[in-house]
Structure 1
Amino acid sequence: MRVLLVEDDLSLASGLESALGREGFAVNHVARGRDALAALRAESHDTVILDLGLPDMDGLQVLAELRAAGDRTPVLLLTARGEADDKVVGLDRGADDYLAKPFDMQELAARLRVIARRLSTTASNRVIVGAVALDSAAHSVTVDGAPVQLPRREYMLLKALMENAGKVLTRSTLENHLYSWGEEVSSNALEVHIHHLRRKLPEGFIRTVRGIGYSIALT
């Protein structure tokens, strides 16, 4: 899941990037509202985490401009404001959820997973394709009931493929799921992850579509 984090507190932003990265999210960060709007015009994201107290414009204004432009990307608001009115206005302007600072990092990750489920064709944390089961809440994978240990990137890659079983995901789409802005990515990094995954999964589970990308067949 690709997340755009809009937060001017650089210490908090750094902590969120690290914590959410460990939970399997690819996080891109901007500190200003105008930069957020420009980023969303340039590239698609699955979710926006939007702080209300930004230095150049109010987060509610960012949300209003986003929705006025027809962008329906889910938005989770972060606010240090205690007044209920701010939350109500945010939800009325098209926000999907909100959290008041300070908040628990695990709760934020759980709320992002709820948003991901809304976007997905699945209605639960578990995705099962053939002998392979992935549980996003437990961050676990099993093959024929036996647990399989996957590093973070391999887990993120498998999750993207399984949640889109039956579809072909392009190389660029998969790289966007795995890497945040500014990360150095070698030219064969994706192929290396696919190779390692295939060694741990049933034969033929991940299919190469030459010149396009990879897919998992619905079974």
Structure 2
Amino acid sequence: MPISARSYSYWLPLDADLDQAARLTVADLQISNRRIMVPTSKKGRGTKAQTHITIPLPDYVLARLRSLIAGRRGQERLLLRWHHKQVEGDKATGRLPEWERTERRPWSVASEMTRPWRAALTQAELAIDLVPYCLRHSSIIRGLQVNLPARLVAAVHDTSTAMIDKHYSAFITDASQPILRLASLTFAPPATAELHSLAAERTKKRGTANAAGQQTN
């Protein structure tokens, strides 16, 4: 996988931290169902009843991930990175020490993301001080802004509604304004055009009634 901003398109729809993404297997990717089964996080106490979270994937991510699973077994880790080893230099020939690729291994610690993350930010022309958690943060906000229930947003992000209410209550209120507006009462007077139309209709009815009265007399 090349180190680029596009590489992080894998992470964007997953709503997962590094540990969850690192534990993904080839079998977790369900191409026919257009989804991926993300392992639940290890945070918290006790054993969780749910082992995986269902995340639908957009077509562009499915297309890129499809190329990663060709010819691989279901229990293999889905996302891998190159492991490097340092080759000593040779003073006699003047060859300097260098790093060479050895094999692809699963991601393991957060520090492994430092260099590729900075490279991705640079390529995407984003602020260099952004952290990977921004992906999760923005995903939660997007869900609230399209009026997804807070409980659903919490579930797909493997967190609690209490956390959503505590840290994102402002976005819940803002995103709910269109819905709240539908439930509000309107006491505004009719528009001027509507008043003229009503007046004309009443005048017409009066004229018709007067004409009928004169014919009767």
TM-score (norm 1): 0.32
TM-score (norm 2): 0.32
Over alpha carbons, which structure has the higher Rg? 2
Structure number with the higher strand fraction is 1
Structure number with the higher helix fraction is 2
